[in-house]
Amino acid sequence: MKPKIIVARPIFPEVISHLQPYFEVTSNQDDVPWTEQSWTDQLSQQDGAFTFTTDVVNENILKHCTKLKICANMAVGYNNFDVPAMTRYKVVATNTPDVLTQTTADMGFALLMAAARRVAESEHYLRAGQWHQWRFDMFAGVEVHGSTLGILGMGRIGQAIAQRGAFGFGMDVIYHNRSQLSSEQEIACKARYVSKQELLEQSDHLVLVLPYSKESHHVIGQKELHQMKPTAVLVNIARGGIVDDVALAQALKEKRIAAAGLDVYEGEPQVSPVLLTIPNVVLTPHIASSTVKTRMAMAVLAADNLISFFTMGKAINPLNPQVLSHQA
């Protein structure tokens, strides 16, 4: 008998076809919204799950899911997973690193450029029929080439952004991370390690690429925004909750920083209403990895984590490998 898995949200039909030879697949291709209770009821019947960042797996749910052995997240982030609880319940958690690094770094730079050069503001102005004559200072933004690029969180995506800045735009790259990169890694992306305070004070453009956790909640708040240059641009392509969106909205309104580019938000898909009224912020709906090629690669990797686990007893990208050791 095939193991039972559930695909929690719509996905490429080709990926469903990829899974079907190995599993009895329940697929939510109609994107039916589930309450916590209905999601728990669905999950409790499964051996495995193909999940997305909107699908919470925590203690309250796991205690009802005695059959569940693995949840494969189609994302590099996994703050929807309570990994310690999953480990206690001997449920393997996986994610999809590497395959979205370059695409996400591209989007980070797109937001940086759009915010710095006031692309969204000027487009809205033009579309509203307000452009009647040229002025020398019309939508004058802040320089990108040759400026200082700061990166908070220096994993794969952070390093890819650093390389774009250093080699593509001649930027002076500084970063802060929980641990300093090796000298070889720093040379590869021409990046220099600094303290968090130095990062905030020196960056012309600050890109956030760190994972969400209790420790990183509101790591950029009112205090940190006050430490930044009034000409600085803030970009968040990491996770909502890393930035205090209310404090950021206030800083943007008061021009304490010049602009921001955001792809993630606290409580998304809801967005702070104040942010929606501010012209000097570029807003996108969590699409940093959204190209067809990359999303397909992410989906296939999530599927392959499930297939590998059930056919070979090991996952490709386990977040809690000790569960596999225990099962072995």
Reported as a single tens digit per residue, the pLDDT across 235-289 is 999 999 999 999 999 999 999 999 999 999 999 999 999 999 999 999 999 999 9
Active site residue 218: no
Could you give the residue range(s) of every CATH 3.40.50.720 domain in the chain?
4-99+292-327, 101-283
pLDDT band at residue 327 using 50, 70 and 90 as cut-offs: low
Q: What percent of the chain has pLDDT over 90?
A: 97
Exposed / middle / buried, residue 166 (Cβ in 10 Å: 0-12, 13-18, 19+): middle
Mean pLDDT for all residues in the chain: 96
Q: How far apart are CA 298 and CA 15, in angstroms?
A: 10
* Mean pLDDT to the nearest integer, 288-292: 97
Architecture of the domain defined by 4-99+292-327: 3-Layer(aba) Sandwich (3.40)
For residue 324, what pLDDT is reported? 84
Per-residue confidence (pLDDT) for residue 119, from 0 to 100 = 98
Confidence of residue 58 (pLDDT cuts 50, 70, 90): very high
Catalytic-labelled residue, pool 64, 268, 295, 326: 268
pLDDT at 328 over 60: no
201 — pLDDT class (breaks 50, 70, 90): very high
Catalytic residue among 217, 286, 295, 326: 286
- Do 225 and 170 meet the contact criterion of CB atoms below 8 Å apart? no
172-190 burial string, b = 16+ CB within 10 Å, else e? bbbbbbeeebeeeebeebe
* Cβ neighbours of 85 (radius 10 Å): 17
Token output for 91: 């449920």
Residue of 117, 118, 239, 295 with catalytic role: 239
Question: What average pLDDT does range 184-202 have in this prediction?
Answer: 98
Q: How far apart are the first and last CA of the chain?
A: 21
d(CA 113, CA 168): 13
Integer angstrom CA distances of residue 69 from 19, 46, 194, 291, 306: 16, 8, 42, 30, 10
Average pLDDT rounded to a whole number, residues 33-55: 96
Predicted pLDDT of residue 326: 64
Active site residue 24: no
User: Cα–chain-centroid distance for residue 194?
Assistant: 23
For the residues 50-68, what does the mean pLDDT come to? Answer: 96
User: Average of pLDDT values for 158-171?
Assistant: 98
- Mean per-residue pLDDT, 81-103: 97
pLDDT of residue 160: 98
Q: Is 239 a catalytic residue?
A: yes
Could you tell me which CATH number the domain at 101-283 has?
A: 3.40.50.720
Band the pLDDT of 325: cuts 50, 70, 90: confident
pLDDT > 70? residue 20: yes
Per-residue confidence (pLDDT) for residue 140, from 0 to 100: 97
